[in-house]
């Protein structure tokens, strides 16, 4: 099973943002630090999930276990519902992508267990702030 750790970060609320994705595949690791445009931290968390799902689909990783320290995103995926309608299109996109996988799990973990993804997200925010760089796409 592929393990995927995700995190989103934002320098401000909203502010320059980034997504961190850390994937464990058969003893090797893949790291992604994706700069995002100005958005809230919660939006960055959703975009980290969406980008990670796209990466898994592109690489034909069909059995995946996701880990996030975002209770908001974890609960939204579990319940397939968000209270804040701002996040509804992001949740819908994530659920649609996840449904294409053979097996998809998501588990909430404490921030202390998500340091690799957090560091990648912070590096992406730094790149976004310094260069106005963004790999943003929906």
- The pLDDT tens digits of the residues spanning 46-97 come to 999 999 999 999 999 999 999 999 999 999 999 999 999 999 999 999 999 9
65 CB-near residues (< 8 Å, 6+ apart)? 1, 2, 3, 4, 105, 106, 107
Q: How confident is the model at residue 138 (pLDDT cuts 50, 70, 90)?
A: very low
Counts of helices then strands in the chain (DSSP H, E)? 4, 5
8 Å CB contact between 24 and 3: yes
8 Å CB contact between 135 and 26: no
Tell whether domain 2-131 is in CATH 3.30.420.10: yes
Predicted model pTM: 0.93
Both structure tokens of 26: 């058969």
**Which sequence spans correspond to the domains of the chain?**
2-131
pLDDT of 12 strictly over 90 = no
Q: How far apart are CA 21 and CA 30, in angstroms?
A: 8
The average pLDDT across 112-132 equals 92
């Amino acid at each position: 099973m592929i393990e995927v750790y995700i995190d989103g970060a934002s320098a401000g609320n909203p502010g320059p943002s980034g997504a961190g994705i850390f994937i464990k595949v058969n003893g090797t690791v893949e790291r992604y630090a994706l700069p995002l445009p100005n958005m809230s931290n919660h939006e960055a968390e959703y975009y980290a999930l969406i980008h990670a799902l796209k990466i898994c689909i592109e690489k034909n990783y069909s059995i995946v276990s996701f880990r996030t320290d975002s209770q908001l995103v974890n609960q939204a995926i579990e319940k397939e519902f968000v209270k804040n309608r701002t996040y509804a299109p992001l949740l819908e996109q994530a659920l649609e992508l996840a449904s294409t996988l053979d097996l998809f799990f998501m588990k909430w973990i404490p921030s202390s267990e998500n340091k690799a993804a957090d560091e990648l997200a912070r590096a992406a925010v730094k790149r976004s702030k310094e260069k106005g760089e963004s790999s943003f796409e929906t």
